[in-house]
Chains A and B, each alone.
Chain A
């Protein structure tokens, strides 16, 4: 998959789905299956629209989640059992034989316990709650649609709050080492805190996205959206070099100087420069800085035509409002997916009109089967919750866990699951995102663009994933 994508190819979402099937060994080929996926490239990409029925509900805490239709196909006995061997689950993956299945940490005769440790409380309460809700939704979906579970065992989810804190991550990892079989779909900006503990106990750790270099270097840790070793997708910049060369020669990069943003900013600037962007102004903005006016004045003075900004969505709104107050409108206002939040559009209003965002995932309102499932089951477990970018990645993480576990069957163990994750390259989460190098921990190669039009996100340049490989920025 990497070979294909590195040639600057463009993939439709249904092609991505087919590629995913190939990775799973279901489709057997990367060719497109006509009609397999219904996409509507012109549909708005409004974050926050929850699909699916509003039923059920979830309570924060442990325990098995989901309605659990039908009876479990036997619990299996400790140390063996053949429950579910050879069955094909609703996910479409052929399950391996369960012969020789061993219970272990987090696995009993009836359940496999998963953990999700995300930033919920802290300075930005609820910031990554979407990732936790998505895993909860997937667990509910899986339990409801797969009565035989994984070798006769249902999934249960323990949810932990890492408190937007390094220590919170470490404590959660220690808890998961004791209680859970694997850490799935978590999201924390301080994921460095859990790396050593997770590695020490061999905890399979598959996060929505890898954030820090420390996490990246942990041998049992993976991210659906891997950050690589200072890597970044080429297409983020190649797209503009092709389409607005003039703007790229007068570009500026501004970022909020907090947490990992400074490191990410350095990598992205370097990759941008390699791909032909001429940065004429680079500035780190302190988090306590409230008046962005002087920065906008700099952009005006230097004749900047393309601006990239990294920060939370609220700071992005502040940045755009300062642009409007200074009567400044660059040709390209570029943001990352952190602005793919309902608050960005509702709080920003008119100032967000015409801004661009690159994204590694499909849009929330894309009518992809997997996206519909995510929205439907999110509505089941968390009525009123808004689908989110990190929720998509978390759902994908849970899906990858299930598929690898089914494929391992009786050989399912922490060590074997880690080995299985290491082979997961070209993973697309059933079409939820472009091919991801989960196992080899490289940056995504494929992205797509969206822009705000009439107060809604709509695809820009088509709904295709644009795949151009990645470059190292450090």
Chain B
């Protein structure tokens, strides 16, 4: 019985920490309709700030707590709302996701830049004084404080939202900010207030968790995924249900460790309980109806004709062929990696750029392709094709249960799926058993071997070109028009009588299949792959790069792939600014998140500007007839 009580108390402590984190999420979402995926990263940064004040600078802990929670964190929250996420509530969900993922990456970069890796201790409140509740039941004051604070936070938030004029204004600003303005309210002010409080709650969660977790950049950041699950039970709006979800999740996790087998295949289940919880809630809870009454067409990047695309493809192949002659083996490996990422990004172009569905699991599909290719041990075109089909089948399997989901819920479902794959599948005995690498041979085509790295990289470029031309062909055809219509307004397309369910399943399958090709080619390039190559966090950075460089064009995919490859290389080459590079990427995503055509489109526009504006000006300034004279001269010399 003592054990049961202990597990319950430990679970309540865990749940209380989740509840504080989740309540901040709910507050910002319910007042501004922005789901802050960076909520955990915010908590992480302010845990470092608190440590800096209290431990490094010697400020009394109570004073440091007040300074962080009352001054610094709220100020940062206002800054984020006013500058970074302003008006995101009405933007497509992909935009707010990208911007907040950008903030997440930027904050991790900021923390690593300011507080270099080192051992740091953050003592719990009241030290390690224990409270004995029986022979075998012990809790700490820190745990008690956490539980009490979670209750206080829940109560105060409820009072704020339900019983005060400010709270009423907060809720009104979500429903109709213009109407609120007419009644004399100030929507931007209440949104700022909500972000100030939400950020302060993230900071409180981070500070309370630090003595348990330690000051870690990633652990604190990603912990909030458990809080997503709790918040989702309350459909991101109900604080009481969020509290229930957090407590239920904490206790469930504690019981799982206590009573589920600790060894064998089922042992992995314990690690994925929050993810399963999230997945189940997303699938089982009733969904919000489709947004109707609006058709939002994006100004897409120009779609090239197949002839024009083929000429560019030829140019790319010539360029890569030259690279294979001039670059060293180690540099060619980097080119191959860039091409892998570019092909994965092509899968996002199809899914997100054309279809409008945000996926946070593209690297997972690539991982499926890599595992399948390695396990099939069929190093030829058939092997790659089979690996692609297996990845496509997995993509379809994901799409079917989440058919009803759209927008944010769909993105979170793909994130949950990626985590499940990381924990349950990639580590299983049939994949990367016990973290061991899988080996793979480089594929041959019709008996032609591509054993040298140069020839294999050229083959990868050829694959990129083929997939890119297929993607462009799809975009130019009937299916492409359906996808664009679906992206702009599912409700409108549904009204026209199109059944989008199977289009959607097919789209997910095709996208996963493309990622699977990339995974198979990647396995051949490397010779060995490990599960870490495909962890879900990679998919977040992939999405950022795709958006920064343009998720609606093949050019964006190619440039994004190159820069995704280069990011860790640059961080390695310039360790003193490694964090800063993450910050720059985050800032880039925040700036360009609202423009899904990205930098690639800017390139197109600038080249058009050169042709339309600059060239005529230059021609005018040239001596009259010079051009024709020049032509005649050339003809004469022949």
B330 touches A190 (CB 8 A): no
- Given A178-B329, A282-B263, A321-B211: A171 touches B334 (CB 8 Å cut-off): yes
Q: Which of B330, B337, B435 is within 8 Å of A172, CB to CB?
A: B330
Judge if A34 is at the interface, Cβ distance under 8 Å: no
Q: Is the CB of A327 within 8 A of B532?
A: no
Contact indicator B435/A262 (Cβ below 8 Å): yes
Residues in B whose Cβ lies below 8 Å from that of A120: 572, 575
Decide: A294 and B7 in contact? CB cutoff 8 A. Answer: yes
Is the Cβ of A286 less than 8 Å from the Cβ of B423? yes
B572 touches A317 (CB 8 A): no
CA distance A196 to B528 in the complex (A): 9
Contact of B575 among A121, A283, A346 (CB under 8 A): A121
Q: What is the number of residues of chain B that contact chain A, defined by CB distance less than 8 Å?
A: 71
Select which of B271, B334, B439, B453 is within 8 A of A286 by beta carbon: B271
In this assembly, does B132 line the interface, its C-beta being within 8 Å of a C-beta of chain A?
Answer: yes
Assembly CA distance A120 to B120 (angstroms)? 19
Chain B, 524-547, contact with A by CB distance < 8 Å: what is the 0/1 string? 001111101100000000000000
**A174 and B329 within 8 A (CB):** yes
Report how far A290 CA is from B116 CA in the complex, Å. 22
Do residues A318 and B214 form an inter-chain contact, with CB atoms below 8 A?
yes
The answer to whether A90 has its CB under 8 Å from any CB of chain B is no
How far is B11's CA from A317's CA once the two chains are assembled, in angstroms?
21
Q: A259-B435, A349-B121 are in contact. Are A284 and B267 (CB under 8 A)?
A: yes
Q: Are the C-beta atoms of B212 and A341 separated by less than 8 Å?
A: no
Which residues of A lie under 8 Å from residue B112 when comparing CB positions? 125
Q: Does A372 contact B (CB under 8 A)?
A: no
B6 within 8 A of A: yes
Asked if residues A174 and B435 are in contact (CB atoms below 8 Å), the reply is no
Residue of A nearest to B579 (CB): A125
Check B140 for interface membership: any CB of A closer than 8 A: yes
Q: Known contacts being A171-B333, A290-B213, A325-B140, is A343 close to B530, with CB within 8 Å? A: no
What A residues does B124 contact at CB under 8 A? 325
B57 interface residue per 8 A CB criterion: no
Q: Is the CB of A283 within 8 A of B528?
A: no
The reply to whether B223 and A290 contact each other, CB–CB distance below 8 Å, is: yes
Instruction: Identify which of A25-33, A36-44, A162-170 touches chain B.
Output: A162-170
B372 → A minimal CB distance (Å):
18
Q: Which of A8-16, A72-80, A297-305, A455-463 contacts B (4 or more CB under 8 A)?
A: A297-305
Report Cα–Cα, A298/B575, bound state, in Å. Answer: 42
Chain B residues with CB below 8 A from A172, complex form: 330
Residues of B within 8 A of A295 (CB): 257
B506 lies within 8 A of chain A by Cβ: no
Asked if A166 contacts B254 (CB within 8 A), the reply is: no
Complex CA gap A298/B337 in Å reads: 45
List the B side residues contacting A196 at CB < 8 Å: 439, 527-528
A253 to B527, CA, bound (A): 33
Residues in chain A near residue B267, CB distance under 8 A: 283-284
Residues of A within 8 A of B130 (CB): 325, 327
Contact B6 A297 (CB under 8 A): yes
Report if A348 contacts B (CB, 8 A).
yes
Chain A, residues 117-155, CB within 8 Å of chain B (1/0): the string is 000111111100000000000000000000000000000
A126 to B329 CA separation, bound complex (whole angstroms): 26
A212 within 8 A of B: yes
Are the C-beta atoms of A294 and B427 separated by less than 8 Å? no
Q: Tell yes or no: B128 within 8 A of A by CB.
A: yes
Q: B136 in the interface, Cβ–Cβ < 8 Å?
A: yes
Q: How far in angstroms is the closest Cβ of chain A from B436?
A: 6
**Contact indicator A300/B136 (Cβ below 8 Å):** yes
The contact sample of 27 A-B pairs, CB cut-off 8 A, is: A163-B569, A163-B571, A168-B568, A168-B572, A172-B330, A174-B329, A174-B333, A175-B330, A190-B532, A212-B436, A262-B434, A263-B435, A282-B263, A283-B257, A290-B209, A290-B219, A293-B6, A293-B10, A293-B254, A313-B119, A317-B121, A318-B213, A318-B214, A321-B128, A346-B119, A347-B120, A351-B128
**Which 9 A-B residue pairings sit nearest by Cβ, starting from the closest?**
A343-B119, A286-B271, A294-B257, A174-B330, A262-B434, A293-B10, A174-B329, A283-B262, A263-B434
Besides the contacts A170-B527, A294-B257, A344-B119, what 10 more A-B pairs have beta carbons closer than 8 Å?
A: A163-B571, A172-B330, A190-B530, A258-B435, A261-B435, A283-B262, A294-B253, A298-B262, A317-B121, A326-B138
Q: CB within 8 Å of B: which residues of A?
A: 60, 120-126, 161, 163, 165-168, 170-172, 174-175, 177-178, 190, 192-193, 195-197, 212-214, 257-263, 266, 281-284, 286-291, 293-295, 297-298, 300-301, 313-314, 317-318, 321-322, 324-327, 341-344, 346-349, 351
Please give the residue numbers on chain B whose beta carbons come within 8 Å of chain A beta carbons, in ascending order. Answer: 3, 6-7, 10-11, 13-14, 112, 116-121, 124, 128, 130, 132, 136, 138-140, 142-143, 209, 211-214, 216, 218-219, 222-223, 253-254, 257-258, 262-263, 267-268, 270-271, 328-330, 333-334, 337, 423, 427, 434-437, 439, 453, 526-530, 532-533, 568-569, 571-572, 575, 578
